[in-house]
Amino acid sequence: MTSICVFGAGAIGGLMAAKLEMAGTPVTVVARGPHYEAMRAKGLVLHSEGQKTVTKPRVHTDPKDVGPQDYLVLTLKAHSLVPAMAQLKPLIGPNTTIVAAINGVPWWYTYKLGGDFEGRRVEAVDPAGVVSAGLPPAQTLGCIVYPAADVVEHGVIGHTYGDRFTLGEPDGSRSERAGKLSELLIKAGLKAPVRPRLRDELWVKLWGNMAFNPVSALTGATLDRVLADSGTHAVCRAMMVEGQAVAEKLGVRFAINVDKRLAGGAEVGAHKTSMLQDLERGRPLEIEALLGAVVEITLDPEALVVDCVEGPDAGSPQLAFEREALGAEPDQAPDRQAERQELERRALQRREQRERDGDEGDRRDDEEPPEATQRPAHGDQRERKRVTLVRVGPAADEHAFLPARDPVRGETNQVGVIPPRSRRPLT
C-alpha cells in the first residue's frame, strides 16, 4: 500500500488529506499543538460544497514515529522549510517522492532547467543550499495549488473553491511517480493533471501572486478593490510586465497576456489574498518566495558581493544572502569558506579597478545613499533609476550600494542592499 504523509496540515494540507481519506487512501498527518489535539480527539473535519465530513487520518507530532514515506506532501509556506528540516528528515528515504505544494519560486526550480540558469541556487528560497540538501531536487515533484481553503478552527477545514493540484517533473518527463499520485488525487475527486512544462503554469500563478499579494498587504484592500483602482492596477501591471521579462529569460512561455491575467484576478472578487490574511494575523509573509527570488534571478551572481559596511565585520566584504536562517556567521560555515574567499577576492579586484578607472559613478559605503533611492519631487523629469532591494547577512547594519548587470534588460542598475535587521518600508 502507498504511504502518504502530509506535513503542514493546515488549510491546503488538511483539504488534501481529508479528500484522500474520503476516497479510501490512508494518510498520515504530522501536526502539533491544538490542531493536533483536535484531530486526535474529533478527527479531521472538512466543510466542502455544503457538506460536513469527518475523516480519521493517522495523526502524529513526532515524524520519527512515522518513518520514510512513499510520498511526502509539503504544504508549508516557503519560509517555514528551513526551520522544519530536522523534522522532515525522518520522513524521507531514498525512494521518497517529495511533493512541493508550495507557492512562489521553489527551491528545485533550476534543477533540470537547462540553459544558463541550470543548477543555479536561488538563495532567497534555498539559503546556503540547506533546503536542497535536505529535500533533494531529484526526489522532488512539483505541485501547483489552486484550491482556496481556510482553517475554520483547530481540526476543521473550510473549502471555499477550486479542486486542482497540477503536477509536474522538473525535467518535464511523465514519470511513474507523478502518474500514480495523479491517479490517487483524481480518485479523491480532485483534478491532478501532469504537465510537461510545469514552470509555465507555475509562473502564471506566480505572475498574479507577486503583484496582487504585496499590493493588497500594503493597502489592506481586497483583490477587487486593488484592481478597480487605477493607481494600484497600474502598479500591479508594471510588476507583472517585469516578472514576465524575468520568466521569459528563463524560457517560460505565457499562454495568456498580462491584461487577461489581470482580468482573471478581478473576477475573483472581494477576496483577501493570503499575504493580507497573514499580515492581519501577525504571521510571517511570503516575501522571498514571491518577490525576493524573482529579484535575485535578475542579478549577476557576482553582484551578490557588496563593499564593506559598518558593523562587526567592517573591513571585510559582506556576502549577500548569508546563513541568517541558521544563525551562523559565515566564518563558522567551512563549506562556504572557499566561496567566501573567492567572492572577497573578486570584490577587491572590482574596487581596485574602479579606483584605477576613476569612476565617480560608483558609490562607496561611507557616502550618502545614491539619489536613485529618493522619490523625485512631483514633475521632476530627471532620469529615474530602478532600485532593487536584496538582503544581506546579519552583521551588516548600514546601507550599501553597487552597480549590478541586469541580464533581462541588458543594462546596469543601482542595487540597494538592505540588511534584514534594518529594513524600512519603501516610500
205 a catalytic residue: yes
Domain 4-195 identical in fold to domain 201-293: no
Cell of 294: 524573482
| Contact between residue 130 and residue 325 where contact means Cβ atoms under 8 Å apart | yes
The pLDDT of residue 237: 96
pLDDT tens over the chain, length 427 residues: 899 999 988 899 999 999 999 999 999 999 989 999 999 999 999 999 999 999 999 999 999 999 999 999 999 999 999 999 999 999 999 999 999 999 999 999 999 999 888 999 999 999 999 999 999 999 999 999 999 898 999 999 999 889 999 999 999 999 999 999 999 999 999 999 999 999 999 999 999 999 999 999 999 999 999 999 999 999 999 999 999 999 999 999 999 999 999 999 998 888 889 899 899 989 999 999 999 999 998 875 544 433 333 333 333 333 333 333 233 343 444 444 565 556 556 656 665 665 666 543 333 223 233 333 333 333 333 333 333 333 333 333 333 333 333 333 344 333 333 333 333 333 3
Architecture of domain 4-195: 3-Layer(aba) Sandwich (3.40)
The pLDDT of residue 299: 76
Instruction: Determine phi and psi for 181, rounding to 5 degrees.
Output: -65, -40
The pLDDT of residue 121: 93
Q: What is the signed CA dihedral for 225, 293, 284, 10, rounded to 10 degrees? A: 90
pTM above 0.75, yes or no: no
- Considering the candidates 56, 112, 205, 249, report the single residue annotated as catalytic: 205
Any idea where the domains of the chain sit in the sequence? 4-195, 201-293, 298-422
The pLDDT of residue 276: 93
The b/e string for 147-170 (b: 16+ C-beta within 10 A; e otherwise) is: bbbbeeebbbbbbeeebebbbbbb
Task: Please check whether the domain covering 201-293 is classified as CATH 1.10.3210.10.
Answer: no
Helix or strand holding residue 87 (H, E) = helix 81-88
The pLDDT of residue 271: 86
The pLDDT of residue 66: 97
